[in-house]
Structure 1
């Protein structure tokens, strides 16, 4: 189970809207000056994701929850998204090369196969996303923010 903490934005009718912060993997790496992942993380404008998660327990805004998703569903979705365009690229490129015997035809077949694989993944993903085992679940719930009180010790016992 892959776990991540999220903050509740709202709760209504058994469904919690939670926000997960995107963590950059380069914050503490020694080679962050020359890292390509750091540059790619800076390009993306989105720093948080908002998703709806079923929750029978009432939650309040600002409350922390731990979400979990099965590894198999994450691996299955990554396989669908990455491998279907790649397989389409190689298969149609090889078929066009065998049929027409020209590199330009192989290039056109590869492009068509890659686009076709992408469209296949795009069409299948809503059907797979509706499966219950592919949905994130709430594993644990933190205290509501109004129940947590922090007292400053330096201001309590001043004469």
Structure 2
């Protein structure tokens, strides 16, 4: 189970609207200066994701919840998104190469296969996203914000 903490925005009729912060992929690595992923993370905007999750327990805005999603569903969705364009690229490129025996035909077939694989993944993902095992679930619920109190002791109060 892959876990992530989220903040509740609202709760209505058994559905919680939660917000997850996007974490940068690298912040603690020792090779930050020469990392290409770090440079790419700086280019894109840091956004948050809003997700509706079923929850029977009443929640309040600002409350923290731990979300979980099964590894198998995450891996299968990643396989769909990444492998279908790749398989389309190689398969249609090879078919065009064997049919027309020209490199330009193989290139055109590869482009068409990659686009076709992308469109296939795009068409299948909404249908697969409705499966219950592909939905995030609330694993644990933190205390509401008004129940948390922090007392800071200063040196003046100590004997």
Report the TM-score, using the length of structure 1 for normalisation: 0.95
Corresponding residue SS for 1:19: strand
Instruction: Determine the structure 1 residue equivalent to 2:27.
Output: 27
- For the residues of structure 2 that align with 1:109 and 1:31, how far apart are their CA atoms? 40
Q: How many angstroms does 1:21 deviate by?
A: 1.1
Instruction: Determine the structure 2 residue equivalent to 1:88.
Output: 88
Corresponding residue SS for 1:56: coil
Instruction: Determine the structure 1 residue equivalent to 2:76.
Output: 76
Matches within 5 A, 1:109-148: 109-148=109-148
Corresponding residue SS for 1:31: coil
- For the residues of structure 1 that align with 2:39 and 2:10, how far apart are their CA atoms? 33
Segment of structure 1 superposing worse, 5-14 or 89-98: 5-14
Alpha-carbon spacing, 1:149–1:155, altered in 2? closer, same or farther (3 Å) = farther
Q: How many angstroms does 1:68 deviate by?
A: 0.3
* Count of equivalent residues: 159
- For the residues of structure 1 that align with 2:60 and 2:156, how far apart are their CA atoms? 29
What runs of 5+ residues in structure 1 fail to find an aligned partner?
none
Instruction: Determine the structure 2 residue equivalent to 1:4.
Output: 4
Coordinate RMSD, CA, aligned? 1.6
Report the TM-score, using the length of structure 2 for normalisation: 0.95
Q: How many angstroms does 1:5 deviate by?
A: 0.6
Instruction: Determine the structure 2 residue equivalent to 1:152.
Output: 152
Give the ranges of 4+ consecutive aligned residues of structure 1 lying more than 6 Å apart after TM superposition. Answer: none
Segment of structure 1 superposing worse, 6-15 or 67-76: 6-15
Corresponding residue SS for 2:41: helix
